[in-house]
Every structure is written in C-alpha cells, then in structure tokens.
Structure 1
Amino acid sequence: MNKDIKFLKELQNELKIQDRDSQAAPRFWTVGDYEWVEAREENAERYSVYLPYIAEAYVLDDYLEDVKEDSELSKEALAELQEIEDEYDDAIEWIQKYIDEEAELIPERKVHIIQPNTMFLTKAEAKSHIKLNKHHYTSEAHTYAMTAWRAPKVERLLKILETFDWDSIKDTQYFYKEEVK
C-alpha cells in the first residue's frame, strides 16, 4: 500500500506541474505522427509509382535515383532517364516503356495522424514511449495532447488523482493493516 500511495503522490505532482499543451482538463497524451496517403492530383505533395508486375510502390523520385544507380538497363534507356527533369508524365512514360507497362503514378500528401492504442496520463510517459519505440514511428513522431471532452468519469478520476490528500489515509485502519503484513 505504501508503494501505491507513493506512486499516486508522485503522479499527482506530475499531473499538477506538467505542460498542458493548451488543452483543457481532463487531458491525456497520445502519439501524433505523419503518414502519406493517396490524394487528388491538385493536392499532391509527392508522387509514388506503383509497379503491378512486382506489386510494389515506391516514392517516384527515390525510385528513379535507385534505377539510375543500380540499373542493369541499356545505355539508351539510362540516357533517356537522365534527360527527364521533374516532368511526371515523362517519368511514368519512361517507367512504362522500360520497367513495367502497367505502372501508374499515385499522387500523395502527408497527413497528421494520431497513432492508435496510445494513451498516457503524463507527457513525460508519452515522450518516453516514443523514444523507446521509435522503430514503430517516423522521425516526426511527437506527443499530442488531447482533451477527454464530455467524459465525466475520466474527468472525475483525473480530478481525484490531482487533488486527493493521500496523506489523509495514513490514519485509516486499512493502511495500518497493510504495513503490518
């Protein structure tokens, strides 16, 4: 019981002094990150190329650089590739001619996401989780504060954790029974 009360007192202090990240109470933290999703052409921030022959997709610019460096293509094909600047139509035509005739461009944009299955009472714990699990996230992963809006039980629980006088239960019979054991 003493260890639990010590934990609750430390948690209480941390809840009181931690940064609120402009969120109202009750608040908790999750992991925010970014991912690339298919987008409309006019909203594209980058393009990927899908190659049906091998059922793979690659970021177009990276793919073209890899082909230039590692290719076993003819000198003629590589010379044509060198002439392609930043024209996406020319790039996909080249890929369809020399790599996969069914290849297609996929316009993409980066969006902010909240990673599922992440919920932390303290910002420090969320930061620690990201650091220890960085292999699951991009380099842009960050803590993301959220408000448990219209969640009266969560609000009550966090209020208890933040305001309860844990020293007051030292005088209870239960506390002494636990210490005697």
Structure 2
Amino acid sequence: MNKDIQFLKELQEELKTQDTDCQAAPRFWALMDYRWRETTEGEHERVSIYSSDAGECYELNEYVENILEDEYNIYTEEMLEELREIYELDDESEMLEWIDENDNDDTFPIFEIEESFIVPNTMFLTKKEAKEHIKQNQHHYTKKVHTYAMTAWRAPKVQRLLTILETFDWDFIEKEGAVK
C-alpha cells in the first residue's frame, strides 16, 4: 500500500507542476497525428498517383523519380529528358500531363489534403506519459505525431477525481497510520 501512496504522491506532484498547454481543468492528454485524405483538385496540398498495375499509390514526385531512375526504362531518352525538365521545374500539372500522355501504366491522380486527427484510444493523465508512449510506439505513428491537451468538459466525475489526485494530503494518511 505504501508503494501506491508513493505513486499517488508522485502523480500529484506531476499533475500540479506539468504544463497545461493552455487547457482548462480537468485536462488530459491524447495524441494528435496527421493523415492524407482525398479532396478536390485545386483544394489539394499534394497529388498522388494510383497505379492499377502495381496496385499502389505513390506521391507524385516519388512516382516521377521512380520513372527517371528505372534502369529498365521503357521510355526514350528524349521522353525522359522532357520529364526531367518538368520535374526540375516542379510543375505539377505538366508532370500529370506527361504521365497521362506517356505512361503505359493504368494510372490516375489522387488530390489530397493533410488533416490532423486525435488518435483513437489514447488518454493519458500526464503529458510526460503521453510523450513516453510516443517514444516507445513511434512505429505506429507519423513523424508529426505529438501530445495534445484536451479538457474533459462537463465531466464532473473526472473533475472530482483529478481534483482529489491534485489536492489530497497523502502525507496525512501516512502520518495517521491509516495505511499499513
């Protein structure tokens, strides 16, 4: 039981001294990560190419790089030179047009936008614990994942529990001998 009291005392100190990330109490931490989702042309941040032959999706620049670096290339040197020039200009619409006109693979563009989202099934009492989780499980997330403070709005039981954890006098319990 003394180990439990020590844990609660340490948790209390951490809860009272950690950064609040501008969130009101009661607060907890979740994880925010990012993903690409399909959008309309003109609203997009990037273009990916879906290749029916490969059954894969590639970011546009990656797709073009693969064409340019392929040692068994089916394209003429003139075609590759034209693509290299377009690629160096970073002209998205010209790259898409070149692929449409020259690529034998059955492909089509996918216009995408990056969106943030709260990672499901994540809830941490402390920011430190959330950061530790990211460190130990980074293979499940993108490189952009980060902690995200949230308020348990209108959650009276959560409010009461966190208030108890932050204010209870654990030393009193130990001094009074209530815990053996």
TM-score, length-normalised on structure 2?
Answer: 0.88
| 1:81 partner letter | L
Aligned to 1:120, the other structure's residue is in SS state coil
Say yes or no: does 1:38 pair with 2:43: no
1:168: how far off?
Answer: 2.5
Partner of residue 142, structure 1 = 146
Residues 15-50 of structure 1: CA deviation (Å, up to 9, x unaligned): 001000000001001111211111121211110001
Conserved 8 A contact 1:49-1:105: yes
For 2:39 and 2:20, the matched residues in 1 are separated by 34
> How far, CA to CA, are the matches of 1:78 and 1:172 in structure 2?
82
Gaps of 5+ in 2: none
Tell me whether 1:98 sits opposite 2:98 in the alignment.
no
**Could you say which residue in structure 2 is the equivalent of 1:179?**
none
Say if 2:83 is the partner of 1:81: yes
Deviation at 1:69, TM superposition (A): 1.3
Cα drift, residue 10 of structure 1 = 0.3
Corresponding letter in the other structure for 1:110: E
2:54 aligns to what SS in structure 1?
coil
List aligned pairs for 1:1-181, cutoff 5 A: 1-73=1-73, 74=75, 75-84=77-86, 85-96=89-100, 97-100=102-105, 102-170=106-174, 171-173=176-178, 175-176=179-180
Query: 1:71 Cα deviation (Å)?
Result: 4.4
AA of the residue aligned to 1:13: E
Aligned length in residues:
174
> C-alpha distance in 1, partners of 2:104/2:36?
24
User: How large is the RMSD of aligned CA atoms in angstroms?
Assistant: 1.8
Q: What do residues 120-172 of structure 1 show as CA deviations (whole Å, max 9, x unaligned)?
A: 10011111111122222222111100001111111111111111111232325
Q: Distance in 1 between matches of 2:23 and 2:129?
A: 17
CA gap of 1:57–1:71, structure 2 versus 1, over 3 A, is farther
> Which SS does the other structure have where 1:28 is aligned?
strand
The structure where helix makes up a greater share of residues is 1
Name whichever of 21-30 and 85-94 sits farther off. 85-94
1:36-68: per-residue Cα shift (whole Å, max 9, x none)? 111121211110001112211000012101221
Q: Secondary structure at the match of 1:42?
A: coil
Residue 111 (structure 1) shift: 1.1
Q: Secondary structure at the match of 1:130?
A: helix
> Is residue 77–residue 98 contact of structure 1 (8 Å, CA) maintained in 2?
no
- Hey, what's the Cα distance between the residues in 2 that align with 1:90 and 1:42? 15
Q: Using the alignment, how far apart are the partners of 1:15 and 1:113 within structure 2?
A: 25
